[in-house]
Amino acid sequence: MNLIAFETSCDETSVAVIKNGVLAANIISSQEFHTKYGGVVPELSSRAHIKYIMPLMKSALEQAELRIGECDYIAATAGPGLIGALMIGFVYAKGLALSLDKPFIPVNHVEGHIYSGFLMDTKPQFPFLCLAVSGGHTLLVLVKSFTEMKILGSTIDDAAGEACDKVAKLLGLGYPGGPFIQKHALLGDEKSIKFPIAELKMKYDFSFSGLKTAVLRFVQKEQSISGNISEQMTNHIAASFQYTAVTSLAKKVEKAVTEFKPATLCLVGGVAANNRLRTAIESIAVKYGIPSVIPDMQFCGDNGAMIAFRAKSLVESGETFALTHEAFPSFVSDYLS
């Protein structure tokens, strides 16, 4: 199977190619310029996708040594994401499919992340428990096959990545916040400040807004006492925040491992790049004697490879596609707005 996939849901333009069933290219262009605005500017994101989508497609095909006419399927992220950004990749891919008379496969972005463990040499085994943590979503999912999954819980307010971004902003660090939190956390003491972990009625749901507010209150109090936040205090806050967020995620993951006894434990999404979280999830897997699969960095943040793989798995699962497909074809979309 030859397939080309486009990902443009937020601030990464990415094109991936599967050649003879194997990933042959995964080119990602990150829109670094949003940093100076402290967050993604949707209008600018859409414009950058327009600029880069065609050159990236050409590079990906070149790298894969494939011609566009040799692709059997054309796939693109259908959502969720920024609508203007999504539309660039979606409509571009659909037009391509129409002109080539090839099936178009719309892919749910979160499902792309959830199955991204399959891009690794060691594949997840079904049923696997998957913690999907990104800038837009935080989900705990029991994945039974390529066509069946059960969402055990999700965030009731901020996503984990969103919380990192907001706390980083509060501390005057850069955007996206996650990597800055991780960098400063390495220099701080994670037990120095005790931030609260939310207690929720639904046992697998998550909440980060209380934690975010606790950090805000702490920062305001510190500022009123000492006038400003020292570099060392910034490190302690980043470390303590990261520790609390990781602990709250890990607690639910461990509970679900004991209840559902999955064959594999997966951690996916942009926040899966966080070393402290990776270690925490790996430790749970070791404790319960199950393998863990956490994608390499290039497959954690948004990337075309995960969209290509998800499209391939849908085709192989017998889903049929027509150019008229508008809706998400599958499962997570039933739960996400």
Residues at the contact surface with ligand KG4, assessed by CB under 6 A: 10, 134-136, 161-162, 164-165, 176-179, 181-182, 269-271, 273-274, 301-302
Taking the complex as a whole, how short is the minimal distance between the CB of residue 84 and ligand KG4, in angstroms?
A: 16
Q: Are strands 138-143 and 149-154 parallel, antiparallel or unpaired?
A: antiparallel
Taking the complex as a whole, how short is the minimal distance between the CB of residue 23 and ligand KG4, in angstroms?
A: 18
Considering only residues 128 to 187 of the shown chain, the ones binding Zn ion according to CB under 5 A are 134
- Which of the listed partners (Zn ion, ligand KG4, none) does 89 bind, with a CB threshold of 5 to 8 Å by partner kind? none
- Edge-to-edge strand list for the sheet holding 128-133: 149-154, 138-143, 128-133, 264-268, 292-293
- Number of helices and strands in the chain (H, E): 9, 10
Binding mask 86-125 for Zn ion (x = CB under 5 A): ----------------------------------------
Give Cα 25 distance to the centre of its chain: 19
Choices 204-212, 256-264, 271-279, 296-304 (CB under 5 A): range interacting with Zn ion: 296-304
Taking the complex as a whole, how short is the minimal distance between the CB of residue 294 and ligand KG4, in angstroms?
A: 12
Torsion-angle region of 289 (φ positive above 0: left; ψ -120 to 50: alpha; else: beta)? left
> Distance (Å, rounded) from C-alpha 290 to C-alpha 285?
5
**Which residue lies nearer to ligand KG4 by CB, 89 or 178?**
178
281 sits in which H/E element: helix 275-287
- Side chain identity, residue 309: F
- Which of the listed partners (Zn ion, ligand KG4, none) does 179 bind, with a CB threshold of 5 to 8 Å by partner kind? ligand KG4
**Which residue lies nearer to ligand KG4 by CB, 177 or 304?**
177
Q: What is the DSSP string of 156-167?
A: SS--HHHHHHHH
**Which residue lies nearer to Zn ion by CB, 158 or 302?**
302
Give the CA distances from residue 305 to residues 38, 121, 166, in Å, rounded to whole numbers and listed in that order: 27, 14, 28
- Which of the listed partners (Zn ion, ligand KG4, none) does 80 bind, with a CB threshold of 5 to 8 Å by partner kind? none
- Which of the listed partners (ligand KG4, Zn ion, none) does 271 bind, with a CB threshold of 5 to 8 Å by partner kind? ligand KG4
**Which residue lies nearer to Zn ion by CB, 251 or 278?**
278
**Which residue lies nearer to Zn ion by CB, 71 or 78?**
78
**Which residue lies nearer to ligand KG4 by CB, 103 or 177?**
177
> Distance (Å, rounded) from C-alpha 260 to C-alpha 72?
38
Taking the complex as a whole, how short is the minimal distance between the CB of residue 301 and Zn ion, in angstroms?
A: 7
Q: How many CB atoms lie within 10 A of CB 334?
A: 9
- Please select the residue that binds Zn ion; options are 302, 310, 315, 332, rule is CB under 5 A: 302
Contact between residue 269 and residue 294 where contact means Cβ atoms under 8 Å apart: no
Based on the shown chain and the rule CB under 5 A, indicate whether residue 11 belongs to the binding site for Zn ion. no
Q: How many residues are there in the chain?
A: 337
Give Cα 191 distance to the centre of its chain: 28
Residue 80 has, within 13 A of its CA and on its CB side, a CA count of 12
Residues making contact with Zn ion (CB under 5 A): 134, 302
